Structure 1
Amino acid sequence: MNTVLNMADICRRTAVERPYFAFGDLSIDINGTVVGEVQREHPLSHEYGPLGAAEIGRHLAILGSCAAAATVDNDDRLYYLATHAEFRRSGFAQSNFPDGEKYRASATVVERTARMLFARTTMQVGENAPFVSLLVQYKILSEPLFARLFSHFAVAEDHTGIESPYTNPISLSWSAPNGNSLVARSHGLTPYQCAGHFRGYPAWPVAIIAACMLRTVERMLHHVLQSPVQWIMDSGSLDALELIPAAAPVVFSTAYNGIADEQRYRFTCDAYVDEKLCARMVTVISTPAK
Structure 2
Amino acid sequence: MESLQTIQSKEMVEIQSQAIALNHTGNSIKILSKEEIFKLIDVHEPYYALKDVIVYAGNFATASIEVEQPLGDEIFPIGAAEACRHLAILGSVCCALSNPVKQKHYYLAHRGTYKRAIEKTHYTGKKLVATATCTFFSKRMANIKACLLDEDNQLICGIENSFHVVPHAIFERLYYNFHKEIPDFGLKNPYHQKKQLFDVQFSALSASASLGKIQDDYCAGHFPHFPAMPVAILMNTLLDLAAAYIHHITDDKSLKMYVREMTLLADNLGFSGEIVVLHVKQEAYTNNRFKLRCTATSTDNKSVGDVNVIIETAAFTDLTLE
**Pairwise same-fold verdict (TM > 0.5):** yes
Q: Which amino acid aligns with 1:235?
A: E
Query: Structure 1 stretches of 5 or more lacking a match?
Result: none
- Map 1:1-290 to 2 at 5 A: 1-2=27-28, 3-91=30-118, 93=120, 95=122, 97=124, 101-158=126-183, 163-228=188-253, 229-259=255-285, 261-273=286-298, 274-288=300-314, 290=318
Whether contact under 8 Å (1:54, 1:211) holds in the other structure is: yes
Rounded to whole Å, the distance in 2 between the matches of 1:23 and 1:231 is: 26
Q: Which amino acid aligns with 1:34?
A: A
Whether contact under 8 Å (2:183, 2:227) holds in the other structure is: no
Q: Which amino acid aligns with 2:139?
A: A
Q: CA deviation at 1:162?
A: 5.4
Greater helix proportion: 2
Query: Structure 2 stretches of 5 or more lacking a match?
Result: 1-26
> Residues 149-169 of structure 1: CA distance to partner in whole angstroms, max 9, x if unpaired?
000110122568954211111
Q: Structure 2 length as normaliser, TM-score?
A: 0.85
- Identity, % of aligned positions: 26
Q: Structure 1 length as normaliser, TM-score?
A: 0.93
Tell me the matched-pair count.
287
CA RMSD of aligned residues (A): 1.8
Rounded to whole Å, the distance in 1 between the matches of 2:121 and 2:217 is: 33
Whether contact under 8 Å (1:86, 1:236) holds in the other structure is: yes
> Residues 60-116 of structure 1: CA distance to partner in whole angstroms, max 9, x if unpaired?
111110111223333210000000110011235555526xx1210011001111000
4+ long deviations beyond 3 Å = 92-96, 158-163
Rounded to whole Å, the distance in 1 between the matches of 2:198 and 2:91 is: 33
Change in 2 beyond 3 A, CA 1:95/1:163: farther
